Structure 1
C-alpha cells in the first residue's frame, strides 16, 4: 500500500521547458529574465503594481517589517494562531507582537479584538489569512486609516483567494506570499512581496540584495540587509505554475467538496470542518482541516491514519505558548482560548494538488473506519 503524503505538488505544465531554458542559457542564479517576468505577471494577477521576488515567505516578512521601519519598542498586532514566521520577523526587528485570539468559525484572527489592542506604540497590523478563508479585511482597513497604521498582509496561503471580489494580497501596504511546495504555486522555496508604493518596492529590492547601493561603489554598504534573492530557476518554475493557477484552484475546490460531502457526518459527532464560505469569500481549501472534540480523539485519529500510511499535519501552535517566546519573557499570563482549542485539537488531511482521486477516496474510507 503506497503512502499518501499530506502534500504532493503538481508539475504538468511548462515547468520542465522553462527550467531547461535556464540551464541551456546558463541563467540559473539571481540574475535572469524569468525573475522580472515572474514578478510582473504575479503582481498583475494579484493586483498591486510592483512585485519583489525573494527566497521564501519568511524572508518576505523580514523585509516587509524592516522596509516599514518597524523597530525596537514598536508594537505590531497579529494573531496568536499562525505559523511562527510573522512573530519571528517582528521579534527579531526588536518590536513586540501584540496578540489577538481567533474567530471560531473562520479560524482567522478575530478582528473585533484588534482595536482594544491599539496603543500609542502600535505601528502596524499584521494580517495572516489562515488555511483557506481570508480575514475580514474591511474592519482592519478602517482601523488602519483611523489610527494611521500600516498593514502587512500575509497571504502566503491565499494564492487566488478573494475578499469581496478583490484578490488577497492586494490590501496591505506590503503583502507577502510563500511559494513553498504545499502552496497553490510553488517554486520549491521562494516568496514575493507586493506593493503599490514604488519607494517601498525599491526599498524591498535593496534589502533583499545585501543593501548594495544602486549608484555607489559596489562593495560599499551603508546599512545591513539580507541575501534573500530568488533564483532564475525558481522564477521559471513559478511562472509555469502561475500559468495553471485557475486549474489548480479548481482541483482544490473539488478536493474540498469531496471531503465536505464524505465527512459531513463528523459534525454530528462534535467535529468542526472548514466553513465552505462566508459573506465575503468562498473557501479555496488550501488545506482541509478538522477540529476534533478533544485532543485524545485527535491523537487516535492521527495515529490510525499513520498506521495506514496516510499523512496528516497538526494545526499551528499558538504564539503565546511557544517556548522560545516564553523564554524571552513575552506573553506572560496571556490566554487565547479559541486559538488554544484549534492548536490542540486541529489537524489537516492530505490536500495537495497531486492528490489522486483514488487516494482521496482511500483517505475518507480509512477515516470513516477509524471513527466507527
Structure 2
C-alpha cells in the first residue's frame, strides 16, 4: 500500500538503541523502563514517581481501575463511540458500563448526553465514575466533565490512548482527572511496538499501579512479598528504549501532523464530507471524515484501496458490537445516535509524519474523484 493509514518512524539510531539492549541481555522491565518513565514525566511536567509504563493502554486502564479499588457491581460511565478496550476493562472488574453518546464534531463524550444518561440510570445503578476518551487526539471538555463528576462524587479516568501530548486549555491531558492512560501502539505518533503508560497527580495511585503491574509484589519489612493478586503488565527494556528514542522527535512529529491535517481541510470541502473540528491542542492521531448517509462508506474504502490508499473505520459504536449489544442493547434504543452515525459513516484517512503535503493532496483528489464517479459531484 503506497499511502498507509499509519507508518511508524523508526530510524537507525533507535534500532541501534534496541540492539544494544538486546545484546546486554537485560530484557525485562529494568533501567531502560525507569528512564522512559522519567522522560515521560519530564515531558508532562511530572515527577517520575507519577508515571508507570505498562505493556499496553488496555493494561493501563485495567491498572487504573484496580488502583482505585472499586467494589464489584458498581457502574461506570463510558463513551459509546470508542475502541472496545475502554469498556472491556470495566467488565473485567465486575462493573457495569453505562454508555454515553458523543459529539458529532470532535467525537468525544457529549456533556449533555453525560448529564441526561446519568439522570436516566442513577436510580437503578450505583454509578461511581467516568472513563472519558480523548478520541483521535482531541480533548474532551474536561472543565465540564470534571465539574459534573465532582458535583456527583464520581472518579474520572482519562483514556488518552490516542492523545499523548494533547492539551486542553494549555494543560496536558491525562493529568486533568484522577488518573490518565496512554498508548504507544504503532498507530500512535510514538511507538514502543505495544506499550502504554499510566499517570496521576497522586503518587500513591501510581505506586498501587506498579504493585499490580508486577504480580502484586512489594517490599514488606525489607523483603519481597505479594500484597495483592497482581498481574504481569510490565514493559520490556527493549521496548522502553525505543520509546526513549521516539520521544526525542515527538514535538516535531506532532507539528507535522498538525500541518498535514490543514491540507485535508483545504481540499476536502465537499457537501458529502463532514470534517472533524479543528481544536487547539489536538495532536491528530487520526483524521476521520464523516460521510453523508447516501455515501456507501465501504465502497469508497475499497475504491481507495485500488488506488493504493489505505483507510479504515475510526472507532466502534459499542452497542452495535455483538457482546455489548446482546448484553445491554435493549437499554439503549436510539439513545446513542451520533455514535451509530460515526461508526457507520466515519472513515479514517492516512495521517502520519512520513507523508508530505503533496501526498495528502493526492489522497484528497482520489477521494473526490471516487465521489464524483459514484454520485456525480
TM-score (norm 1): 0.92
Q: CA deviation at 1:219?
A: 8.1
Structure 1 residue 197, shift from structure 2 partner:
1.1
List gaps (5 residues or longer) in structure 1.
none
Contact 2:260-2:356 within 8 A present in 1 as well? no
> 1:164/1:20 Cα in 2 relative to 1: closer, same or farther (>3 Å)?
same
Counterpart in 1 of 2:19? 20
Is this contact kept in 1: 2:80–2:100, CA < 8 A? Answer: yes
Cα distance in 1, alignment partners of residues 275 and 21 from structure 2: 43
CA distance in 1, matches of 2:282, 2:207: 34
SS in 2 for 1:184: coil
SS at match of 1:78: strand
Deviations 1:46-78 (A, max 9, x none): 234410000001111111111111232111111
Matched ranges for 1:1-372 at <5 A? 3-12=2-11, 14-31=13-30, 33-49=31-47, 50-118=50-118, 119=122, 121-215=126-220, 221-264=226-269, 266=270, 269-277=271-279, 281-294=280-293, 296-327=295-326, 329-334=327-332, 335=334, 336-372=336-372
Unmatched segments (≥5 aa) in structure 2: 373-377
For 1:322 and 1:216, the matched residues in 2 are separated by 49
**CA–CA separation in structure 2 for the residues paired with 1:80 and 1:13:** 41
TM-score when normalising by structure 2 = 0.91
- Residues 120-179 of structure 1, C-alpha deviations (whole Å, 9 max, x = no match): 712111110111321000011112222222110111111221000001111121100000
Measured in 1, the distance between the counterparts of 2:45 and 2:205 equals 16
Superposition deviation, residue 80 in structure 1: 0.3
SS at match of 1:192: strand
SS in 1 for 2:273: coil
Quote how far apart the aligned CAs of 1:230 are: 0.2
Q: For 2:98, what is the secondary structure of its paired residue?
A: strand
Do the aligned residues in 1 keep the contact of 2:137 with 2:164 (CA within 8 Å)? no
CA RMSD in angstroms, aligned pairs only: 2.0
In structure 1, how many angstroms separate the alpha carbons of the residues matched to 2:223 and 2:117?
Answer: 44
* Partner secondary structure for residue 53 of structure 1: strand
